[in-house]
Chains A and B, each alone.
Chain A
Amino acid sequence: MRRRITLAAAALVTTSALLLTACTGSPSGETTTSAGPADSSATLRVGLVLEPSNLDIRHTSGAALEQVLIGNVYEGLVSRSQDNEVENALATDHTVSDDGLTYTFTLAQGVAFHSGDPLTVDDVVSSFTQVKDDETIIGHADFANVAGIAADGADKVVVTLTTPDQNFLFNLTGPAGLVVKAGDTTDLKTAENGTGPFTLTRWNQGDSLELARNDAYWGEPAGVASVVLQYIPDFTAGVNAALDGSLDVLTAVDPTLAPQLDGAQGFSLTTGKTTDKATLAFNNKKAPLDDKRVREALRLAINHDDLVTAVGAGQTLYGPIPELDPGYEDLSGTISYDPERAKELLAEAGAENLELTLTIPSFYGTTVPQVLVSDFEAVGVDLTVDAVEFSTWLQDVYTNRDYDLSFVLHVEPRDFGNFANPDYYFGYDNPDVQKLYQEALATVDPDESADLLAQAAKIVSEDSAADWLYNGATITAVQSTVSGFPVDSINSRIDLAGVTVSK
């Protein structure tokens, strides 16, 4: 259980983004629209779908939390870019020893927490030690290989591992790597004490979060004086709010509603890449899905191109690793739409007139289940759709593995490890894949590691351990007065510091 899928939040955010056919996207990077000089006293108003349930990012999982707090309010030694590359943040430099066991970080100088206390190496050591020791801290599992955390002088922190871990640095870009003040008494559920370019000024639960520029920020100060993050769970209400002038940016635009915003009242749309894998999970441990022929037949029965069209945004994906992650390779050759062959395989497996249940968190809507029901019907599989609340899904499917098929957007980057973990809810157990994955993690050279991952991913796809219905895309509507709003991966990070609003 090393990797992480933060399903609920970003999943919802992106599902929304999955249903669009034609939308004018500017190339990846940033939006380039601009009108007039930037107004440094401006307020940026952003509409989002899913609100964090509390603000304690160290003890609560959830993409909604990470999306707005990491990089804006809290910072780690390293952070990740929109295309998932690791970048320095609170560290000005980091080095990895040749054996891949020792990580040395040099801490930036002049950094202060929002309380005014200076950041020291002791704060980093204390933060990391807590993650290592306290099971209830999110990201605890990411530190399983950590052998030692120590300060070296006044500006260096050294972390040693028991075995090399190709993902360790990347994991530090998540909640596990955040630095909080040692011995701080702030109640993190409702308040914060980060080092980021914004401070949290108000949380109006059930409505909005307000951020203000941290004028004492150690780096480049933020481009706007304040940000209002307005949470609007209903997609139509979000579009209406944008149209009535209440918002400068609307994230996670529902693809079916996107045309209403395209070009309307100064809005333009961007389409961003994500690592969202719309995964049709098969219960590999339960008959008849423990039979590879049945799983393959189900994959052959799905017309992926039509599905992407129906969903409206995103692209086909035939393996467990998306384009933004290391080890990606185009696996479209492993499977093709072939209902006749699917019927043959089902007959071979003695699984004609199959009745299966699809358990799906209810916020995903009905488009995907409808397509699956009709595709499966064509090959003689009767699919019952069971839409449940997310907490029910977590209990029945994730914890108790009581399901046949499940549909969830696995949004977390670099989560291939789920297929190398026989205890994960997929129940997929292939020693070759597990071995390759372990080698990939332990390999110090990133290219070699990516190559091993690609090999493992190919086996997983050939085994039809699951089906990957599509790789999601996220649509954002941005006012012409707004510049620098990020485009890619914004369902896991929204870097607000670089955004400006012109008069």
Chain B
Amino acid sequence: MIRYALTRAALLLVGLFVASVLIFLSLRVLPGDIAQLIAGSEGTPAQVAAIRESLGLNEPAITQYFGWIGGVLSGDLGSSLLTGSSVAAELAQKAQVTVPLGILALTIALVISVPLGVLSALRRGRPGGTALSVASQALAAVPVVWAGMMLVVVFAVWLGWLPAQGFPRDGWADPGAALRALILPALTIGVVEGAMLLRFVRSATLQAIGQDYVRTAAAKGLTRTTALLRHGLPNVGLSVITVLGLQVAGIVVGAVVIEQLFTLPGIGRMLVTDVGNRDLPKVQGELLVLTGFVLLVGFVVDLLHRVIDPRQRES
């Protein structure tokens, strides 16, 4: 087990290194640069050159890469060329919005998908199950932006129950207000992701129903539902954990869109702004941390599998 964990950890590090190279190179392909943006449309070529020089943009790419990665290895994620602010500090600040948003969205997705997914599988072929299945398919196909706008129109503009956009300027100083600001965005991501997850839980449950051990349990006198709940669900849970790992990445992507729509000062919105500004050192740091996070989730999912599923331990 320990050997397995170490191998996976090494793979994680290799993955991060490859990601860092890809991030660095892909950003260099973007046209336009920050020096030109700072100088604006008034800037003369000489002015732009002077700004480029002062920002160190004229250094060879390889020097820039090692400068960056060297900093990262010594714990420095770099700083913004525009504002001079530290990437780590900015990430920590914006994570106060994005992390709770992600957790809330994930919770909503789970609360919707697990019971309804199982129910939909148990009721397969009956009107209730079909309705659930159709509804989830429709919801999963809804663009996140549209779903968000509809929720805003109903709950913020018509009913006036929740704020339409923004986050308290004092952050979590008033937890109630902060939570209220996150409800609609989290619902938007949660419902759409939940609908997708529901379909997955449904098919995993259906598969479990057909398994020998469920049939055996049923033959021993349990009702089909009890047999499934007692013996089938742990297996469903395993597959759900895997999918959840992927969902996390989906939620990060969803946050980029949703934060823009709801004007939430989170990581997604910061990333969009920084790319637009061509603040490459900052974007590099942000992307590396996000990639690291997603890789880490994959790592944890793999380990969990190993711990939960005895079959994997033996093999």
Contact = CB atoms under 8 A, between A and B. Distances in A.
Contact of A240 (B40, B46, B164): B164
A357 interface: no
B269 A138 contact: no
A115 interface: no
Contacts of A237: 164-165, 261-263
Contact of A136 (B47, B164, B165, B262): B47
A234 interface: yes
A391 B50 contact: no
Interface in A171-195: 187, 189-190
Interface in B121-152: 149, 152
Interface in B247-302: 260-263, 265, 269-270, 273, 276-278
B37 interface: yes
A97 interface: no
B71 interface: no
Interface in A386-407: 388-396, 398-399
Given A53-B82, A395-B36, A233 B263 contact: yes
Interface in B71-97: 82-85, 90, 94
B181 to A, nearest CB: 10
Contacts of B315: none
Interface string B221-259: 000000000000000000000000000000000000000
Contacts of A141: 42, 44
Interface stretch (A203-211, A316-324, A332-340): A203-211
Contacts of A393: 32
Contacts of A240: 152, 156-157, 164-165
B63 interface: no
Nearest to A400: B31
A196 B150 CA distance: 43
Given A205-B90, A391-B31, A396-B31, A138 B83 contact: no
B54 interface: yes
A6 interface: yes
A409 to B, nearest CB: 11
Nearest to B54: A136
Interface stretch (A241-249, A270-278, A472-480): A241-249
Interface stretch (A32-40, A54-62, A149-157, A454-462): A54-62
B39 interface: yes
For chain B, the bracket of interface size reads: 35 or more
Contact of B41 (A189, A232, A392, A394): A394
Nearest to B47: A135
Interface in B165-211: 165-167, 169
B298 to A, nearest CB: 29
A208 B265 CA distance: 9
Contacts of A51: 273
B102 to A, nearest CB: 17
Contacts of A399: 36, 45, 48
A190 B84 contact: yes
A236 interface: yes
Contacts of A190: 83-85
A228 interface: yes
B16 interface: no
Contact of A246 (B46, B166, B269, B278): B166
A190 B82 CA distance: 10
A40 to B, nearest CB: 22
B150 to A, nearest CB: 12
Nearest to A62: B40
- Which of the listed residues B40, B44, B261 has the most CB atoms from chain A within 10 Å of its own CB? B40
B218 interface: no
Nearest to A174: B42
A106 interface: no
Interface string B6-26: 000000000000000000000
Contact of B40 (A6, A230, A232): A6
Contacts of A3: 42
A467 to B, nearest CB: 19
A6 B42 contact: yes
A241 B169 CA distance: 15
A49 to B, nearest CB: 11
Contact of A6 (B41, B169, B261, B273): B41
Contacts of A392: 30-32
A206 B264 CA distance: 8
Contacts of B119: none
Contacts, number: 150
Given A207-B169, A236-B149, A237-B261, A395 B43 contact: no
B60 to A, nearest CB: 20
B82 A54 contact: yes
Nearest to A4: B42
A204 B94 CA distance: 10
Contact of B165 (A8, A138, A246): A246
A190 B273 CA distance: 17
Nearest to A139: B42
B270 A136 contact: no
Contacts of A228: 169
A1 interface: yes
- Which of the listed residues B34, B42, B50, B83 has the most CB atoms from chain A within 10 Å of its own CB? B42
Given A136-B51, A190-B83, A241-B164, A206 B276 contact: no
A395 B278 CA distance: 12
Contacts of B277: 53, 391
Given A135-B47, A187-B84, A240-B165, A5 B42 contact: yes
B270 A206 contact: yes
Contacts of B165: 232, 234, 237, 240-241, 246
Contacts of A231: 263
Nearest to B161: A244
A1 B169 contact: no
Given A8-B40, A398-B41, A205 B269 contact: no
B36 A243 contact: no
Interface in A430-478: none
A207 B265 contact: yes
A244 B169 contact: no
B47 A391 contact: no
A234 B263 contact: yes
Contacts of A246: 163-166
Contact of A391 (B54, B157, B265, B278): B278
A501 B273 CA distance: 32
Contacts of B270: 205-206
Interface in A365-401: 388-396, 398-399
A7 interface: yes
Q: Enumerate the 4 nearest inter-chain pairs by beta-carbon distance, A residue then B residue, closest first.
A: A61-B40, A391-B32, A240-B164, A207-B265
22 contacts: A8-B37, A51-B273, A53-B277, A60-B40, A61-B39, A135-B50, A136-B50, A189-B84, A205-B265, A206-B94, A206-B269, A232-B165, A237-B261, A237-B263, A240-B156, A240-B165, A244-B157, A389-B32, A391-B30, A394-B37, A394-B41, A395-B32
Given A3-B42, A62-B40, A398-B36, 5 more contacts: A61-B40, A202-B169, A244-B163, A391-B276, A395-B31
Interface of B: 30-34, 36-48, 50-51, 54, 82-85, 90, 94, 149, 152, 156-157, 160, 163-167, 169, 260-263, 265, 269-270, 273, 276-278
